[in-house]
Amino acid sequence: MARTSGSDEVGAKLAERIADLIVDTATNSPRSLQKRLGPSEVGDPCERRLSYKMLDWPAASTEQDPAASIIGTGFHTWMEEAFTRRQAPMPDGRPRYRIEERVTVRPSPIEDAIVAGSSDLYDRATGTVWDWKLVGHTSLDEYRRKGPGPQYRTQAHLYGLGQENDGEQPKRVAICFVGRYHELRVHVWTEPYQRQIALDALTRLDRVRDRLTASGDADAPYDHAWWSQVPASDQAKCRFCPWFKPGSTDLTVGCPGVAQPAAQRHGFESLIA
């Protein structure tokens, strides 16, 4: 997973030790160890991935590169500090910003059914729920052209519901995409807050959860045929999924993903095919 090198034998060994430390720390972070679904996952278009997560199913591969998440966590900390320095009182005396405050989207007496998470920023002055996304420049261009996609859009409205549950009055949700690039590139997607989007996502989540126990047979998920009835999604980013196993024919071991349709060629491309 990690590529290491050194200027000599000692440097190579030190590089390997540092890489191991980074991977171990990322793997054992509270976020990585979290078993309950958070707002960032509820809108995942792939019900199979959600089911693997709910069942705490063994990952098909532990070789997940933590670099992007580490960099993203550092960026969130930087933004938290930036807005903390800019904190100001509202006319009623409350602070303008709620920064990285935990909100409960849905309380429940059942621990696994609770949906809660840390909301990046809520601006009381404008009623805007903000979420920061540090992405590659190719992804940023895609989000700029096509919008945030169902998972990020749902996440934004879920955090809006969490703020509403805390007595706030959210009016808008906004996702700020910042490119990991050698120049600053920022794109903001925003729309009015819609409680129903969050409620629909929670209803879907319950449906997915109910399927896991519908048969009444605790051994059912150990059968490939059972998993084949759990739909995967062609909108999912399979290569980032812990349960992605290319070529797998046994869904109890891993999911091969959904084949993407070949891009339709046209014009000169079709003439030279």
How do residues 75-118 score in pLDDT, each as one tens digit?
Answer: 999 999 999 999 999 999 999 999 999 999 999 888 878 999 99
Burial pattern 185-194, b for ≥16 Cβ within 10 A else e, equals: eebebeeebe
Q: Which tokens belong to 95? A: 């602070």
CA distances from 254 to 48, 71, 143 (A): 10, 28, 29
Distance, CA of 56 to CA of 221 (rounded, Å): 12
Ranges of residues in the chain whose predicted pLDDT is under 50: 32-33, 263-273
**Which is nearest to 155 in space by CA: 135, 130, 182?**
130
pLDDT for the residue numbered 248: 93
Percentage of the residues of the chain whose pLDDT score is greater than 90: 64
Distance, CA of 208 to CA of 50 (rounded, Å): 8
Given a contact cutoff of 8 angstroms between Cβ atoms, the answer to whether 185 and 178 are in contact is yes
**Which is nearest to 197 in space by CA: 170, 234, 178?**
170
Q: Let me know how many helices (H) and strands (E) the chain has, helices first.
A: 10, 5
pTM of the shown model? 0.85
